[in-house]
Amino acid sequence: MINCHLEVEPKGFITAMYVLSAVTLPVDLFGVYCIVAKSPSIMKEYSRFLLVYQICATITDTWTNLLFIPIAFLPFPIVYHAGILFSRTEIHYSYVFITWLCMIVTTMGSVVQLFIFRWQAMLMKDHVLRLNKKLIYAICFTFFILFNGAVIAAGFTMPNRIDELKPMYMQVN
């Protein structure tokens, strides 16, 4: 029999994630406050996109560092979550993981929105690549639907392999 020296519940990693959540959540909320209350009127349009990004980043940080905390033993197919909320409920791991991936994709999409806005702001009014604002919104919304749809479709079409993985997980314990 093979002796496995994996630590099933890495206390250092889980503690570090809790500490990070204690640091990142107030910083993220302060960022939301600064964008809402302190941004000058000249940045009105840009601050909206910045606010969308900051809210997405705050939700994703809170989900990752506090509620979810993914723990994976690579290259083995052993993955579980050890967050405050989801480790005590009977929610399937795949649903929590798909939601987490959608949050990451949405946060990345909001960064792309910021880049598109800055790129369009640098172009002259009569430039060939200058896009209508409604078209920019349509492109960003389409990317949001496509990328999150792809994550959801890929996640829900994967077979639930928990019965196959239980013997391997028990072997690590």
Would you kindly state where each structural domain of the chain is located, as residue ranges? 11-172
Residues 6+ apart with CB under 8 A from 61: 21, 24, 25, 28
Q: How many helices (H) and strands (E) does the chain have?
A: 5, 2
Q: Any idea which of 3-7, 26-30, 137-141 has the lowest mean pLDDT?
A: 3-7
For the beta carbon of residue 137, count every other beta carbon within 10 angstroms.
Answer: 12
Kindly report the pTM of this predicted structure: 0.75
> pLDDT tens digits for 71-124?
777 666 666 777 777 666 666 667 777 888 888 989 998 998 889 888 888 888
